Structure 1
């Protein structure tokens, strides 16, 4: 949601039209003595997908609440993909803290000495949608039937994933380089769910406006397609 809001704020002509997935996100560290955000030393870099990502904004929300400074970590971020962040954390050299998502979160927590110091829902203050489907406004206006079909297909796919976790794990195990049983446990847990309504749009926008990550506020009907 945060990257979508940033794009919208900067003039992108697009609108969110469907929830794809909710997920358990988390900040993992292998650094001894770091058990809270306040323990993170000034010279420690925090790996996450990119500035403005949902991980970045969740970190800022938690920092705002716990440390009184939403931007305290903004100059300490290092941009890494989820797989690269996992590899870097396992190496334990430059990167000792990584904000990631399933299944990398679960893989990182198996590293000796690794522990979760911030849960995504805790940072946000409730549940939120992790991945949304966004369409250009031109496509929405010009292809209403195709849009409706895509939205139905997303929900059918979400229903299948929710109802068939073992089959989903078998299909995706090679991609994630994980054992089917290991990935299956994640699909069976509360770490992942698919479809439903888009959650968290208003709260993300309110926080990002308040802390200067956005300039222009929009109404819900401008952000989410009915």
Structure 2
């Protein structure tokens, strides 16, 4: 039996409408199952305090459940090297990475067109101090070939890039790499131990809170410079990133992570004392809670998800060849969820 073409068209159209109606009744979980575990790789120190608070208070789990995702497990792995953190996100061993802003910028640049690692938000703004145990070192020009400067990751960490900017300021254009041969990669705790011992070739450590403040409790340690002096004022110290693929596959979970970050920052501002105790518990730190709380409340430290001073880093890093792709605006590096914030 043959059917008129018009009848076939009406039948096909009806089938499409029925299929669409059936799909619309499916739950979001049935339509697209999102991850039930989310893994964070982070660096060490108060620059990553929002993640410590998220871990301690189960904030990702809380917001994931509120969003209808059910039971979600969040895992946090502390790593002391920004390059290792980037590798963890690229290898699939972590879904989110948290490290200094320059390390994030390098990761963003190197993964354009493939993994597309992109920023979720900044985590805080804080100064980093270059401390030394050598009385004769008063400025960068006093370092000799016998000195060694600890940074978290050579030529890639926040401290390493700030040191390059400072070197160009001290020695002139084109001299950004002048002190690079003196730098060595160590985690903040290991670098602190080496500097305080005074028994190694380590004579300086470019670090971050609370390690730099712990060092300065020793009268033999003094500060050579602050990153804020080099950068001309406050700028974001750390950032959180993930891949475009993870965000696309887990849109609800991604928003739960961002909501957890916002709540963590609000908690830090409302209760620095408990935030300090959280940091001490997770780090198994011997520092007094009042000391850590005072650092959290320090006027030069601000916990805020808005990226600030990103252009200072990208402009310098593009000029010296650390990155190939210079973003036109800070928003090029971050997902659209925070584009309405007044960043720079």
- 1:59-138 equivalence runs, <5 A: 59-68=163-172, 69-92=175-198, 93-138=200-245
* 8 Å contact kept, 1:102–1:191: no
Deviations 1:3-31 (A, max 9, x none): 11112222241111212122221100110
Partner of 1:38: 141
Give the greater-gyration-radius structure (CA): 2
Question: Are residue 223 (structure 1) and residue 333 (structure 2) matched?
Answer: yes
Contact 2:125/2:237 (8 A) holds in 1: yes
User: What's 1:164 paired with?
Assistant: 271
CA offsets 1:57-88 (integer angstroms, 9 cap, x no match) = 00111111121111011111111100001100
Counterpart pick for 2:121 among 10, 14, 18: 18
Question: How big is the shift at 1:172?
Answer: 2.3
RMSD: 1.4
Structure-2 separation of matches of 1:9 and 1:197: 20
Provide, for residues 122-168 of structure 1, a one-character-per-residue CA deviation record: whole Å limited to 9, x for no partner.
Answer: 11222111111101111222322222221111011011012211111
Q: SS where residue 134 of structure 1 aligns?
A: strand
Structure 1: give runs of 5+ residues left out of the alignment. Answer: none
Partner of 1:7: 107
**What corresponds to 2:157 in structure 1?**
53
Secondary structure of the 1:18 match is strand
Residue among 145, 151, 155 paired with 2:252: 145
Q: Is the 8 A contact 1:28 1:115 kept in 2?
A: yes
Q: Distance in 1 between matches of 2:263 and 2:130?
A: 31
Q: Deviations over 1:185-212 (max 9, x none)?
A: 2122124321231112221011001112
Give 1:103 deviation, angstroms: 0.3
Question: 1-side partners of 2:324 and 2:179: how far apart?
Answer: 21
Q: Render the CA deviation track for 1:87-113: whole Å, top value 9, x for unaligned.
A: 000111211100000000100111122
**TM-score normalized with structure 2 length:** 0.63
Aligned length: 226
Structure with greater contact order relative to length (CA < 8 Å, sep ≥ 6): 1
Report the Cα distance in structure 2 between the residues aligned to 1:46 and 1:83, rounded to whole angstroms.
14
